[in-house]
Structure 1
Amino acid sequence: MCYSEGHPVRLIGGRLALDFVNTADWTADGHIAHEKLRSLADLTLWLEAVNLDSKPLDSLANLIRYRASLRQVLLSGGDPSSLNAVQALCFEDASSDPITRRQPLQALLAASAVSLLADSREHERIKMCPGENCGWLFIDETKNGRRTWCSMESCGNRAKAARHYARKKNRAPARV
């Protein structure tokens, strides 16, 4: 299953809210480096990958704004104001009708985020991949808590290859 640009749908976050935030690649300063949800078809593919109803009721533009806000809240910390911020995110829509303001997908994502923020053990294990223009969030569920990369298949291997290249480039030529 791939997005319209051919990138595979990868679910590495470990929780629904994290996997949704990971539908974009992020720069170190929190801007989007690469958008994966470029169309409703891309959103439908992601929904199918996470086994949710593939008929989104939320507009794509609202969901992308919501995703950025949700990411900020997840990175901000697990204090009570973060929980309030997630709940407030469900009601940011301009509509005044409370029934239509709370969109189904946003409500599911908020519930996932609240469960992450409410449990300090969960929240303490949220990590951000240091890969260049990745910035994906994930739960480090390793016993020793030392997972660094979103996945070794992508960012981890690129970092290892870059270190190897740098060592090889800086190595003095052998004298004969």
Structure 2
Amino acid sequence: MTYSTHSIVRPIAGRLALDFLNTANWSSEGRVVQEKIAGMVDLDVWLRALDLFNAIHPASVEDIYAFRSNLRSVFLDGPQQVDLDLDQHLQSLKVQAPSSIESLRCQPILGIVAVSAMSLLNDARELKRVKMCPGSDCGWLFVDETKNARRKWCIMETCGNRAKAARSYARKAKA
């Protein structure tokens, strides 16, 4: 199920870099089980939903996949473990002094995501609040911004409800 065919874009992560990582559902082993960006049309749908419709596209979908996979490893394994080459993507921005919000939106998307990732990775307080949804074949990352830091699910209406229903079913089957 891709964004252009069935899926609704739900930016739930709290940060652009994490919403970018959530353009796929992940297995517990770290492989993609459901791809939401199968082509540039899907990327356009995602960019429009995040109000980044003027962002410049990468050369290919494979570039998106490689960057996303490496970025996910950085968040899960630590920045020193993976050669993400964020500097390359930051240099690709070629940012000039912005004259408007619109001029900021007209940057290369991987560069914009790299800036978001760098911001998050360099803030230890935020980084320790990055969590992964324990839902079956979900693996989405999000910033837990709750007061008591007890958010567990990416979206309670999907992963949380599935887990609650499974526990209820197991209790009834056991009785």
Tell me the TM-score range normalised by the shorter chain: 0.7 to 0.9
Equivalent in the alignment of 2:5: 5
Equivalent in the alignment of 2:41: 41
Q: Give the superposed CA RMSD.
A: 2.3
AA paired with 2:64?
L
AA paired with 2:73?
Q
CA contact (8 A) 2:25 2:139 kept: yes
Equivalent in the alignment of 1:174: none
Equivalent in the alignment of 1:62: 63
Equivalent in the alignment of 2:150: 146
AA paired with 1:46?
W
Superposition deviation, residue 91 in structure 1: 3.0
What stretches of structure 1 move > 6 A for 4+ residues in a row? none
CA contact (8 A) 2:129 2:143 kept: yes
Equivalent in the alignment of 2:119: 115
CA contact (8 A) 1:26 1:32 kept: yes
Equivalent in the alignment of 2:160: 156
AA paired with 1:141?
E
Instruction: Give the aligned length.
Output: 160
AA paired with 1:57?
H
1:135-160 deviation digits (Å, cap 9, x = unpaired): 00000001111111001010000000
Q: TM-score, normalised by structure 1?
A: 0.83
Superposition deviation, residue 123 in structure 1: 0.1
Using a 3 Å threshold, how does the CA distance of structure 1 residues 41 and 54 change in structure 2: closer, same or farther? Answer: farther
CA contact (8 A) 2:92 2:111 kept: no
Q: TM-score, normalised by structure 2?
A: 0.83
Secondary structure (helix, strand or coil) at the match of 1:127 reads strand
Using a 3 Å threshold, how does the CA distance of structure 1 residues 6 and 90 change in structure 2: closer, same or farther? Answer: farther
CA contact (8 A) 2:135 2:159 kept: yes
**Mind listing any 5+ residue stretches in structure 1 that lack a counterpart?**
93-97, 172-176
CA contact (8 A) 2:24 2:32 kept: yes
Higher Cα radius of gyration: 1
CA contact (8 A) 1:125 1:145 kept: yes
- Percent sequence identity over matched residues? 50
